[in-house]
Structure 1
Amino acid sequence: MKLHIQNNFTSQLPADSLEANVPRQVYEACFSFVDPLKPSRPILIHASTEVAEEIGLSKEDLQSDDFLNIFSGNTIYAGTKPFAMCYAGHQFGNWAGQLGDGRAINLTEITNKNKSFTLQLKGAGPTPYSRTADGFAVLRSSIREYLCAEAMFHLGVPTTRSLSLMLSGDQVLRDVLYNGNPAYEQGAIVSRVAPTFIRFGSFEIFASRKDLVNLKLLTDFTIKKHFPNIKEEDVHKYLRFFEEVTQATLKMIVEWQRVGFVHGVMNTDNMSIHGITIDYGPYGWLEDYDSGWTPNTTDNQHKRYRFGNQPEIALWNLYQLANALYPLIDDAKALEAILEAYTSNYEKKYLSMMQDKLGLQNKLNDDLFLVNRLTELLEKAETDMTIFFRNLSNITKEDSAVLAFDRIKDAFYNEKELIEDTLKYWHDWFEIYTFRINEQILTDLERKEKMNLVNPKYVLRNYISQLCIDDSEKGDYSLLNELFEILKNPYDEQPDFQKWFAKRPDWARNKVGSSMLSCSS
């Protein structure tokens, strides 16, 4: 097994001057060197041959003892020094100070086919940033992380990738509901892959401490290494960097809203400067379309990170990044112009995305009424978002409003309970919608094909994840293997797996792990 090592981050940025792996405040450093804790009996559960190929490993490499040992943290690859990153962040809108990689350890940076990657283990032991935690992860959360990153990638959503999922062979104590009833669970380790794991909080830590020397060092490094297209100098390059991060973040959020994904913990330390989805904790996909839904039990009262608020939270987080970069720029108006453009750009891109979901090719600004009215109706009664939009492509130009409605009614959880007024509203909406699709040049089949490229049939619903977790905790990984393959082709019909194209069952409505989730992992 051969990796092409490239230790830019650790060779060009300041390291923690202390070597002790104990929880503490770390100053004037971007990272701390720290080794993973050796697992007692690592076992490979699953590995992605696709991601392996992306980083230069073969299918045979995945079966080797070297792979098992290196990506469980049991041995350290020659020529590398694992490290944990130092960063800060705002959590639920409040300044939290230093956070850092509390249970993530970066093995190394590598290159393959002119692309750079950072390889990271999640759940491989404590770091100086673990605070009161142990740095480990349990199987249930690791399965959710492993499957979700790959599901998101194949949905076309910017994301980290998953390389491998392993059992550590150790028991980990967790209080799932934070109700004073901790229990031991199986420990697990996920290997994650990303261009880097640099976050908004990486810049916030230095700005908050007025450490402008290291703020500049990190920003210059990030631009040179990861934004080589930026050719501007001085203040202008920092503005361009912020603008690119803003645009990438906007694109990510539009994709989240397109597929109905709710992150659940949009703290600034969970925001990547690459505009990729990182840190899959209490996430979820909308079952019934509910703009006020959050999958995070910790957020249940204020619902800061609810589905409908994600675009605004992304902007709020960008304001915090702007504040962190301000000492390098000293031009509030220039930063504000970029932030103000976010709102108008998001509205345009959101409308265009929704028009694509509706199969409208000759796009009109007037469609905003159609879109807004639709989202209002989707919330009037429990309506499965994924099934609704997927079935919408079955409507033809010849359909009456009533027949069009019949084609999507399977998406309702209680279709028979729809009141008369709601039915009339739906028929009125379909009158407008069928009129609009009759204005399209595309045939019904062409429109259906295009719509099915943006409206997935299969998403990683929480209850499906929980079924997989239940089996896996008993040592049965057949469903995990099946889901991994299904989620690689979420837009295909896959008739053999039709049973997973279904509304959330009643038993999962309020079941722990199938509806709401905690941050306990």
Structure 2
Amino acid sequence: MKFNIKDTITKELPADPILENFRRPVRECFSYVSPKKTSQPILVHASHVLAKELGISEEYLHSEEFLKVFSGNSILPNTHPYAMCYGGHQFGNWAGQLGDGRAINLFEIEHNDKLWALQLKGAGETPYSRNADGLAVLRSSIREYLCSEAMYHLGVPTTRALSLCKTGDKVLRDILYTGHPEYEKGAVVCRVSPSFLRFGNFEILMARDDKATLKILTDYTIKQFFPQIQAGTKEGYIQFFQEVTNRTLKMLIHWQRVGFVHGVMNTDNMSILGLTIDYGPYGWLEGYDEGWTPNTTDSREKRYRYGNQINIGLWNLYRLASSLFPLVEEIAPLEAILEGYRDAYTQQYQEMMKSKIGLYSEDSSDIELINTLEENLQMTETDMTIFFRNLSSIDKEAVITDDFLAPVMDAFYNPEELDESIRETWKQWFEAYVSRLQKEYISNLERQEKMNAVNPKYVLRNYMAQLAIDAADKGDYSVLEEMYQLILDPYGEQKDAEKWFAKRPDWARNKIGCSMLSCSS
């Protein structure tokens, strides 16, 4: 197969002149580096949906060349793999140079007037690997592969995943940092995105006071991905920051809508295009809990908890604003955009929550109704996905009787905790909710269809991914395929998949990989 290669990064951005692959500070935007060859690669799975978008045929997808290229064992002619240099704030602290420590960009292609960068994660050491081996394990690779595509089909802005290959090599990992590492099966994921540029690519240049390269990088980014903006001007840089701010907020609102928690919102994990990037210790809310984080590293401070993601988005945007300041040379316009983020968040969040509970007209009671709902959901452990999905079945003409909780009862993990006080609190909310629904002029059926289009029935719960991992570790990829087929239609009824529309089982509550995960996950 012949790809339409369009390597814009290597042609337009400054390259590291050193070609040897050893750890070092890099002043330029990227370093040339080749993937590490693997001993016995096997194609575990490939996304046929994404392959079609990229113009990759079914025949090529299962060819020997595809396996060689996307396991890192072969480099296509006239392509020059590279790793990017960037910095970042990690858990609020400046970490200096970071970079693609275990990701290698193979090439960029153009198909149907869209630019795509194809990148291998787990393909070996780069100049940015620091003390790590640059490899990835099957466990974390399955999670990244499935979640990338799950998020896409949920309608969340995200990077994608084309393929998952097992390498045949062993990788040493200490999954929970207990000092007892074990060997695991190695794997490589091909990640796909219009660009993998991050906030950190800009931060590192500002930190080094390299305005010349900062200008080159920013002008390149605007020209390639924001063509409606005039590059090279102060006004253009301000518009660029506004656009990044808008896209970042849009992404985060989607995270809150589906109950997704990223787990590591460091600035080096923030896409300049407003895409979800770097799937490590992520998770979906099981019980609705604004204080929940899936990251063991963040278990004490809970900086990246579900209820704080919007605030962290703003904090990260402040860092990006500081990085772009040398080009703008004015604080006021950047501060105005950041202040606007707060107002935009309030409006967009309220509109999103109204759509989740089926309210489409304006009413002064809506904010209180939403706030009370969020408080009620935390009175006892309540499954977010099931609650909002089943809420759509409420009849707006319903009379609130003693069994008023029946439509959402499946969402409660411990129904015995629904004492008289909690039931009375819920009853008051449902009475107010049904009264509010009666002000809407659409039918119950139409409202249910609209609510079900924003409240997924199926999300990739951690225990589901873990089941795929456990089976794959034994050489059984059928559960992985089942999960892949499930995530293609998260809003559909999928009657043959009803078993996955269920609360997290008790065995998964504290199981490694099903509740909390480390950054190495």
Larger mean Cα displacement after TM superposition, 416-425 or 224-233: 224-233
1:182 Cα offset (Å): 0.4
Q: 1:401 offset after TM fit, Å?
A: 2.9
TM-fit CA distance, 1:422:
1.1
Per the TM alignment, residue 145 of structure 1 is displaced from its structure 2 partner at its CA by 0.1
Asked if the contact 1:105/1:124 (under 8 Å) is kept, the reply is yes
Cα drift, residue 418 of structure 1: 1.6
Deviation at residue 233 of structure 1 after TM alignment: 5.5
2-structure distance, mates of 1:310, 1:364: 27
Residue 481 of structure 1 aligns with which residue? 481
For 2:411, the equivalent position in structure 1 comes to 411
Which range is displaced more, 16-25 or 257-266? 16-25
Distance 2:43 2:239 in 1: 43
User: Is the partner of 2:24 in helix, strand or coil?
Assistant: coil
TM-score w.r.t. the length of structure 2 is 0.99
Counterparts of residues 43-58 of structure 1 (less than 5 Å): 43-58=42-57
How much identity, in percent, do the aligned residues show? 61
Letter matched to residue 465 of structure 1: A
Aligned pairs for 1:297-308 (under 5 A) are 297-308=296-307
2:75 aligned partner, one-letter code: I
Q: Which amino acid aligns with 1:361?
A: Y
Q: Distance in 2 between matches of 1:150 and 1:509?
A: 25
- Measured in 2, the distance between the counterparts of 1:70 and 1:399 equals 59
State how far apart, in whole Å, the 2-side matches of 1:268 and 1:304 are.
Answer: 13
Query: Structure 2 CA distance, aligned partners of 1:179 and 1:438?
Result: 56
Partner of 2:17: 17
Q: Equivalent residue for 1:316?
A: 315
- For 1:464, the equivalent position in structure 2 comes to 464
* Inter-partner Cα distance in structure 1 for 2:351 and 2:499: 31
Instruction: Look up the equivalent residue of 1:412 and give its one-letter code.
Output: F
Distance across 2 between alignment mates of 1:312 and 1:451: 27
CA shift at 1:405, angstroms?
Answer: 2.1
Counterpart of 1:8 in structure 2 is 8
Aligned twin of 1:514: 514
**One-letter amino acid matched to 1:482:** E
Q: Deviations over 1:273-311 (max 9, x none)?
A: 110000000000000000000000000000000000000
Aligned to 1:453: 453
Q: Name which of structure 1's ranges 126-135 and 224-233 shifts more when overlaid on structure 2.
A: 224-233
1:486-514 deviations in Å (ceiling 9; x for gaps): 11000001111100000011111111100
Q: In 2 relative to 1, CA 488–230 (structure 1 residues): closer, same or farther, beyond 3 Å? A: same
Report the Cα distance in structure 2 between the residues aligned to 1:87 and 1:365, rounded to whole angstroms: 46
Does 2:130 match 1:117?
no
- In 2, are the aligned partners of 1:111 and 1:117 still within 8 Å (CA)? yes
Which residue in the other structure is 2:439 paired with?
439
Equivalences for residues 125-274 of structure 1 within 5 A? 125-231=124-230, 234-274=233-273
Q: Do 2:161 and 2:191's aligned partners in 1 also have CA atoms closer than 8 Å?
A: yes
For residues 13 and 345 of structure 2, what CA distance do their matches in structure 1 show? 35
- Equivalent position of 2:290 in the other structure: 291
Report if the CA contact (8 A) 1:264-1:282 is conserved. yes
CA contact (8 A) 2:260 2:284 kept: yes
Report what 2:389 is aligned to.
Answer: 390
CA RMSD of the aligned region, Å?
Answer: 0.9
Q: Is the partner of 2:115 in helix, strand or coil?
A: strand
> Residue in 2 aligned with 1:67?
66
8 Å Cα contact 2:222/2:231 also seen in 1: no
Q: Please give the TM-score of this superposition, normalised by the length of structure 1.
A: 0.99
CA distance in 2, matches of 1:348, 1:281: 30
**SS of equivalent residue, structure 1 residue 401:** coil
Distance 1:424 1:346 in 2: 32
CA contact (8 A) 1:104 1:135 kept: yes
1:213 to partner: Cα distance? 0.7
Task: Give me the whole-angstrom Cα distance separating, in 2, the residues matched to 1:514 and 1:395.
Answer: 32
Give the deviation of 1:69 after TM superposition. 0.5
| Alignment match, 2:355 | 356
Deviation at 1:252, TM superposition (A): 0.1
Alpha-carbon offset, residue 366 of structure 1? 3.0
Q: Output the CA distance in 2 between the equivalents of 1:299 and 1:188.
A: 26
Q: How far 1:519 moved relative to its partner?
A: 1.2
Instruction: In structure 1, give the amino acid aligned to 2:119.
Output: Q
Give the partner amino acid of 1:428. Q
Q: Is the 8 A contact 1:352 1:363 kept in 2?
A: no
1:419 Cα deviation after fit? 2.2
Deviation by residue 1:176-205 (Cα, 9 ceiling, x = unmatched): 110011000000000010000000000000
Which residue of 2 is the match for residue 421 of structure 1?
421
Shift of residue 54 of structure 1?
1.2
Equivalent residue letter for 1:76: I
Q: Which moved more, 1:286-295 or 1:399-408?
A: 399-408
Q: Counterparts of 1:321-400 in structure 2 under 5 Å?
A: 321-400=320-399
Give a deviation string over 1:114-162, Cα, whole Å, max 9, x none. Answer: 0001000000100000000000000000000000000000000000011
Shift of 1:231: 3.0
More deviation in 227-236 or 341-350? 227-236
1:154–1:487: 8 Å Cα contact kept in structure 2?
A: yes
2:21 touches 2:127 (CA, 8 Å); kept in 1? yes
Q: For residues 271 and 305 of structure 2, what CA distance do their matches in structure 1 show?
A: 19
**Contact kept in structure 1, 2:22 and 2:127, CA below 8 Å:** yes
The secondary structure found in structure 2 opposite 1:192 is strand
Residue pair 1:2, 1:57 contacting (<8 A) in 2 also: no
State whether residues 455 and 491 of structure 1, in contact with CA within 8 Å, keep that contact through their aligned partners in structure 2.
Answer: yes
Gaps of 5+ in 1: none
Q: SS of the counterpart of 2:95? A: strand
Q: Letter of the aligned partner of 2:339 in structure 1?
A: E
Question: Following TM superposition, by how much is the alpha carbon of 1:436 offset from its aligned partner in structure 2, in angstroms?
Answer: 1.0
CA contact (8 A) 2:392 2:452 kept: yes
Give the residue type in structure 2 aligned to 1:418: L
> Aligned with 2:31: secondary structure?
strand
**Alignment partner of 2:118: what SS?**
strand
Shift of 1:439: 1.1
Q: Distance in 2 between matches of 1:385 and 1:157?
A: 17
Q: Distance in 1 between matches of 2:426 and 2:349?
A: 22
Checking the alignment, whether the CA contact within 8 Å between 1:212 and 1:327 is kept in structure 2 is: yes
1:232, 1:58 → 2: CA distance? 37
Q: Which whole-Å CA distance do the structure 2 matches of 1:401 and 1:291 have between them? A: 28
Shift of 1:50: 1.2
Is the deviation greater in 157-166 or in 437-446?
Answer: 437-446
Aligned-partner residue type, residue 227 of structure 2:
P
Q: Using a 3 Å threshold, how does the CA distance of structure 1 residues 365 and 156 change in structure 2: closer, same or farther?
A: farther
Whole-angstrom distance in 1 between the partners of 2:224 and 2:279:
26
Cα distance in 1, alignment partners of residues 504 and 400 from structure 2: 27
Q: Quote the Cα distance in structure 2 between the aligned partners of 1:461 and 1:420.
A: 31
**Number of matched pairs:** 520
Q: CA deviation at 1:404?
A: 3.8
8 Å CA contact retained: 2:219, 2:232: no
Q: CA deviation at 1:232?
A: 6.6
Counterpart of 1:88 in structure 2 is: 87
Provide the C-alpha distance between the structure 1 equivalents of 2:80 and 2:404, rounded to a whole number of angstroms.
60
Q: 1:365 to 1:40 in 2, by over 3 A?
A: farther
Against the structure 1 CA distance between its residues 181 and 19, is the aligned structure 2 distance closer, same or farther, given a 3 Å change threshold?
same
